[in-house]
């Protein structure tokens, strides 16, 4: 066989799969599988049917869910498996383990593992987490946190542009028209009064029920929570009380303390005159803020400049200056002025001259 025939056979043995190299197929398939699981994780996270909470893990705020909730969620939503394509028949634990390997999830554990004093059991949703040593799916006691950034919604994008405008509007409050200032002032005062009223109302209800019945009932239980969503923040109905009932001695003690505190406030309450002074002082401050305007500020600056100029004109000239100054008064001028004053006083019938005779008699005595 000649050399040319051997080269022709080598040319005929080239790959017949459209010129593609088979070594590139697994990498492309892996990239496609990764994109599929990324899309699946985003769809699951955006679905509100999966219960989730926010917590702090390594000084970072993360969103997490429980393993048992995820199992029930996948049973109720089998259509989400279609996103996985060829892996749609995998079990729940295999899907979660794949998400863990692709670093779309991380298994967590509660940071505080002991029951707090007064509690019967650990919290179902801990507020502080730590990374678990075993990164595998666990249905009973597993917590899983999302590691990727959630897609920004349209409202979040709009709000991101509105926050700088809001800050600028707050800084420009002094130059608002009078009517706008009134609207902003009463709106902020009403919102502040509403929040304070809710806090006082829930504290009073809690104190009465705790003293009378020994029950811990907090209406709006998440109003002071730091890690919570808006839906949980506005929830009115209180959570179930899982703590032990207080002793009757503690209830009686705090009842006496509450009565003493109320009597103390009533004894030191300001009278009508003091309340009137406070009201007038606050009203003056508010009126100063509402009545201020750039025109008044500029006119005040011009008036101050006019006063300064008048003061400079009335000040004595410096040595060597050519400013004209009136001549000093002489004794004749002073006596003439005194004579004119005496004539005017005599015409008015008023005697301003001292009685020298009476002064001498008083000295002789």
Note the pLDDT tens digit of each residue in 300-316. Answer: 665 655 655 555 555 55
Same domain, 210 and 269: yes
Same domain, 38 and 142: yes
Same domain, 136 and 191: no
Same domain, 141 and 36: yes
Task: Give a yes or no: residue 72 inside a domain.
Answer: yes
Q: Assess contact for 112 and 128: CB atoms under 8 A.
A: yes
pLDDT number for residue 256: 93
Same domain, 206 and 270: yes
Query: What single string gives the DSSP state of each residue in 14-28?
Result: S--STT--GGGHHHH
Whether pLDDT at 326 is above 60: no
Task: Give a yes or no: residue 285 inside a domain.
Answer: no
Note the pLDDT tens digit of each residue in 170-229. Answer: 888 888 888 888 999 899 999 999 999 999 998 999 899 888 888 888 888 777 776 666
pLDDT number for residue 98: 92
Domain count of the chain? 2
pLDDT number for residue 299: 72
Same domain, 191 and 144: no
Same domain, 141 and 39: yes
Q: Indicate the pLDDT class of residue 116, thresholds 50, 70 and 90.
A: confident
Q: Which positions ≥6 away from 65 have C-beta within 8 Å?
A: 50, 51, 52, 53, 143, 144
Residue recorded with tokens 């009278």: 271
Same domain, 225 and 145: no
pLDDT number for residue 330: 55
Task: Give a yes or no: residue 349 inside a domain.
Answer: no
The arithmetic mean of pLDDT across residues 117-140, rounded, is 86
Same domain, 184 and 265: yes
Q: Indicate the pLDDT class of residue 284, thresholds 50, 70 and 90.
A: confident
User: Which residues on neighbouring strands pair with residue 55, listed in sequence order?
Assistant: 62
pLDDT number for residue 328: 55
Task: Give a yes or no: residue 50 inside a domain.
Answer: yes
End residue of a domain, out of 242, 276, 310: 276
DSSP 8-state symbol, 318: P
End residue of a domain, out of 149, 165, 195: 149
pLDDT number for residue 348: 45
Task: Give a yes or no: residue 42 inside a domain.
Answer: yes
pLDDT number for residue 304: 58
Same domain, 88 and 191: no
Residue recorded with tokens 């929830």: 235
Q: Which domain, by its residues, includes 193?
A: 176-276
pLDDT number for residue 145: 95
Pick 13 or 48 by higher pLDDT: 48
Angle subtended at Cα 212 by Cα 209 and Cα 218, rounded to the nearest 5 degrees? 10
Task: Give a yes or no: residue 24 inside a domain.
Answer: no
H/E segment holding residue 106? strand 105-110
The arithmetic mean of pLDDT across residues 322-336, rounded, is 52
End residue of a domain, out of 248, 276, 304: 276
Task: Give a yes or no: residue 171 inside a domain.
Answer: no
Same domain, 137 and 35: yes
Note the pLDDT tens digit of each residue in 14-23. Answer: 444 434 343 4
Cα gap 144→53, rounded to integer Å: 11
CA distances to 89, 146, 254, 297, 316 from 310, in Å? 94, 73, 69, 20, 12
Task: Give a yes or no: residue 249 inside a domain.
Answer: yes
Phi-psi region of 351 (alpha: psi -120 to 50; beta: other; left: phi over 0): beta
Whether pLDDT at 107 is above 50: yes
CA distances to 35, 39, 63, 146, 156 from 150, in Å? 15, 12, 10, 9, 11
Q: What are phi and psi of 41, to 5 degrees?
A: -65, -40
Same domain, 42 and 137: yes
């Amino acid at each position: 066989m000649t050399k040319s025939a051997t080269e022709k056979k080598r040319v005929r043995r080239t790959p017949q799969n459209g010129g593609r190299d088979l070594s590139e197929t697994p990498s492309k398939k892996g990239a496609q599988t990764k994109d599929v699981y990324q899309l699946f994780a985003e769809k699951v996270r955006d679905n509100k049917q999966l219960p989730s909470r926010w917590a702090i893990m390594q000084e970072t705020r993360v969103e997490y869910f429980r393993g048992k909730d995820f199992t029930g969620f996948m049973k109720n939503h089998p259509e989400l498996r279609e996103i996985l394509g060829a892996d749609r028949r995998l079990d729940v634990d295999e899907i979660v383990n794949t998400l863990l390997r692709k670093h779309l999830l991380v298994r967590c554990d509660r940071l505080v593992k002991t029951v707090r004093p007064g509690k019967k059991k650990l919290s179902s949703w801990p507020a502080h987490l730590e990374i678990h040593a075993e990164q595998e799916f666990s249905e009973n006691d597993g917590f899983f946190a999302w590691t990727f950034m959630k897609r920004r919604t349209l409202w979040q994008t709009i709000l991101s542009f509105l926050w700088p405008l809001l800050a600028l509007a707050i800084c420009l409050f002094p130059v608002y028209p009078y009517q706008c200032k009134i609207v902003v002032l009463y709106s902020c005062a009403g919102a502040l009064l509403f929040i304070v009223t809710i806090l006082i109302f829930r504290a009073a209800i809690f104190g009465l029920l705790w003293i009378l019945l020994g029950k811990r009932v907090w209406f709006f239980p998440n109003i002071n929570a730091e890690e919570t969503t808006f839906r949980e923040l506005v929830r009115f109905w209180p959570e179930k009380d899982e703590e032990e009932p207080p002793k009757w001695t503690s209830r009686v003690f705090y009842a006496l303390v509450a009565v003493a505190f109320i009597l103390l406030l009533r004894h030191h309450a300001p009278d009508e005159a003091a309340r009137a002074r406070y009201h007038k002082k606050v009203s003056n401050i508010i009126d100063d803020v509402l009545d201020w305007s750039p025109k008044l500020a500029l006119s005040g600056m011009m008036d101050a400049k006019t006063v300064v100029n008048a003061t400079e004109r009335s000040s004595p000239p410096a040595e060597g200056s050519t400013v004209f100054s009136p001549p000093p008064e002489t004794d004749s001028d002073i006596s003439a002025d005194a004579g004119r004053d005496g004539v005017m006083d005599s015409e008015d019938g008023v005697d301003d001259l001292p009685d020298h005779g009476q002064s001498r008699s008083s000295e002789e005595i």
